[in-house]
Amino acid sequence: MMEWLLWFTRFENTKPLSLLIFFLVFCGILFYVFGSKKRGERLESHKHIPLQDDEI
C-alpha cells in the first residue's frame, strides 16, 4: 500500500515531477497576469495609488 510513497523518495522521480509542477505554476501565473485585459486595466489604475496625497 505504501509503495507509491516510496516512489517519491527516489530523486530520479521527484526532480522531473517537481519541474513539471513548477512549470505548471509558472504558466498559471503568466496566464493570470496576461490573460485578461480588464484585470490589466484595473492593475494599471492602481499603480499611482502610492503617489496620491491623502485628502483629509
pLDDT score, position 55: 66
| CA pair distance 16, 23, nearest whole angstrom | 10
The domains of the chain are located at 2-45
| CA pair distance 56, 41, nearest whole angstrom | 28
Question: Residues 3-55: pLDDT tens digits?
Answer: 877 877 887 878 888 999 999 999 998 888 788 888 778 878 888 888 877 66
Q: Which of 16, 20, 24, 25 is nearest to 8 (CA)?
A: 16
pLDDT score, position 27: 96
